[in-house]
Amino acid sequence: MLMRVLRAPRSLWRLGQNHVAAWRKRREPKGLILLYHRVAALESDPQLLAVTPENFDRHIALLKTLGTPMHLSDMIAAAAAGRLPRRAIAVTFDDGYADNLYYAKPILQRHAVPATVFIATDFIERQREYWWDVIERAILAPTPLPDPLILPFPEGPRQWPASGDFLPAPGWSVLSSDDPSPRHSLYRALMTAINPLSRDQRDKVLSALVTAAQIPEEARDSHRPLTRAEVVTLAEGNVVTIGAHSHHHPRLSGLSAAEQETEIDTGRQRLTAWLGQDIDTFAFPYGNLDAYSGETVSLIKRKGFVLSCSNYPGLVRGDTDRYQLPRLLVRNITPQALQNLIIESFDHLEPGLRA
């Protein structure tokens, strides 16, 4: 009995110590990099890439109340120097959709929140839609398709039944548990079949798909890339910094070292030529940990980039590898949901990969 009485204060003391440690850990300076793709109100967004302008405006306003928004390069320099604010937040965009200029930039400007936009340059030069958007346009629409739909794959023609009607299903995405019409299942099947192909193979399949669905090759205004002139306009002022995202947006891990080097160099050279300034930041296309390799990371370092971004959840600290920066993908969620996500992330996410 006596022992128990004596033990109580000690366990209380220990409990207090744990609280102090947890409190200290929470107060530790950390950085969070957010990843967006598009700011647009789309009727159909099966890959969940777009945030509506209304939500984006409220997201950006919120960041200032939750932490310290800063330029990505400044965050990484501050982390290395041990001068990171308690909750540093950097906004990034991938790919180079035109809506980044018309919807995202004015909102960023109004709130004086900076962002880095990583641009794949072939997308800009060809003025065609990204392959995932072409599939959406051909399949998730009431346009008739030949039945069966026959497409030229490298191993030979493959075919899918395509007789079913398309039923519009606002809000449907690849994360939905059911498919409201056969077209939605067909969309999934084609995404899975086309995703692993090389660029040449994919172009062949897409070209046949465009012919079969009788859709124009020109990009829809709602899905088009920035033009070169628009890339320049996007970079004007202090709000948006442009970063490289390769030329053709390949999975770099699937290429030889020489091919990777060409992809990295070409994308960077094009941007440098258009903007008349050096480009020193990079984001790996797709960005998940199997979309690039150790060889890719070495190349990026050797070419003098100051940082490169991946796409896995994690926090930035002083010892985080600045060549494999973690990023938090942001969907079209309410400001309240984003607030919860950010606070949760700062409190519970693990630090990114160490250098």
Q: Residues interacting with Zn ion, by CB under 5 A?
A: 94-95, 285
Q: How far is the CB of 283 from Zn ion (least distance, A)?
A: 7
Q: How far is the CB of 40 from Zn ion (least distance, A)?
A: 16
Q: How far is the CB of 225 from Zn ion (least distance, A)?
A: 12
Q: Closer to Zn ion at the Cβ: 119 or 206?
A: 119
Q: How far is the CB of 266 from Zn ion (least distance, A)?
A: 16
Q: Closer to Zn ion at the Cβ: 67 or 285?
A: 285
User: Distance between alpha carbon 251 and the CA centroid of its chain, in Å?
Assistant: 14
- Between CA 321 and CA 53, with CA 332 as vertex, the angle to 5 degrees is 105
Q: How far is the CB of 104 from Zn ion (least distance, A)?
A: 15
Q: How far is the CB of 284 from Zn ion (least distance, A)?
A: 8
Q: Closer to Zn ion at the Cβ: 45 or 57?
A: 45
Q: Closer to Zn ion at the Cβ: 213 or 297?
A: 297
Name the residue number minimizing CB distance to Zn ion: 94
Q: Closer to Zn ion at the Cβ: 79 or 98?
A: 98
Q: Closer to Zn ion at the Cβ: 95 or 129?
A: 95
Torsion, CA 20, CA 318, CA 76, CA 266, rounded to 10: -140
Q: How far is the CB of 94 from Zn ion (least distance, A)?
A: 4
Q: Closer to Zn ion at the Cβ: 183 or 268?
A: 268
Q: How many CB atoms lie within 10 A of CB 282?
A: 25
